[in-house]
Structure 1
């Protein structure tokens, strides 16, 4: 182990039974290094101890190194763009959902308005009936009172006991 890697990102690491086992006898996984010194160079890695041995025996050439570093930078930039686009898509979907809710609540508001109008009409009709009932009751009471008073005046002078008996019968008073 002549090389030691302090920072590497594993991309597509899979256990490989053909790779050399670690000194702890655990299987190793083929992993790609993304360090400045060894970009794109593959090595075997133990999950517990890290670097074991290089799979690619030679270091990459200068142009390969540059190409891999540029590719890595492009991948990172595109990953950030994807993240930003995903966030924008989530926001757009949330706005669409909000619009759908407002549209559906618009029909709910219309339904509620129709129900409110129906209830208001029913209340107005009930108030008319109550008003008429009070009016007719009051009118009936006034007419009945006038008839009783007229009858009492015409009969009281003739027979006061009869007028008292008539009043008792009208008021349903029992002795």
Structure 2
């Protein structure tokens, strides 16, 4: 495995049957699977800090195995990309539906709030009329009472 390969070309697998040699720094190593063009599906031990340590599979895959594994890897990558694109499209569609529902309910709420505001304004006007009527009546009563007292 060349040193130019990056971590995206490998995957970790969990198998307790594989106990490899410790890394040169005496730390435990992790079994991984290579997905590079040179070694597709070949297992190796990896130390996260240092990278490749040693191959688990001593033999390289033969030509037909290599071709099959590379085709499978590429197909999985394409399908993963398509799945991500579909998820993004579904998220976008859900956001549009939610916005549409919000606009539908908001429109009726705005009309409702306008109707409530008009009712409140009408109630304020009616209250003002009643208050003026009360003040006029009170002054009329006061003047009448004053006139009666002056007459007497």
Check conservation: 2:10, 2:36, Cα contact below 8 A: no
SS of residue matched to 1:59: coil
Quote the RMSD (CA, aligned, Å).
3.1
Gap regions ≥5 residues in structure 2:
137-149
Equivalent position of 2:11 in the other structure: 11
Structure with bigger gyration radius? 1
Q: Distance in 1 between matches of 2:33 and 2:108?
A: 58
Q: Which residue does 1:115 correspond to in 2? A: 116
Would you say the 8 A contact 1:15–1:27 is kept in 2?
no
| Contact 1:15-1:29 within 8 A present in 2 as well | no
Q: Name the CA distance, whole Å, in 2 between partners of 1:45 and 1:5.
A: 12
1:46·1:52 contact (CA, 8 Å) conserved in 2? yes
Rounded Cα–Cα distance in structure 1 between residues aligned with 2:77 and 2:37: 15
Relative CO higher for 1 or 2, CA cutoff 8 Å, sep ≥ 6? 2
Measured in 1, the distance between the counterparts of 2:133 and 2:49 equals 94
CA–CA separation in structure 2 for the residues paired with 1:11 and 1:85: 24
Kindly indicate whether the alpha-carbon contact (under 8 Å) linking 1:13 and 1:32 is maintained by their aligned counterparts in 2: yes
CA distance in 2, matches of 1:7, 1:74: 20
Counterpart in the other structure of 1:142? none
Q: Which runs of 5+ in 1 are unaligned?
A: 137-168, 170-175
Instruction: Show the counterpart of 1:94.
Output: 95
Contact 2:44–2:57 at 8 Å: present in 1 too?
A: yes
TM-score, normalized by length of structure 1?
0.64
Instruction: Quickly say closer, same or farther: Cα 1:121–1:4, change in 2 above 3 A.
Output: closer
Match runs of 1:17-56 below 5 Å: 18-56=19-57
Query: Equivalent residue for 2:107?
Result: 106
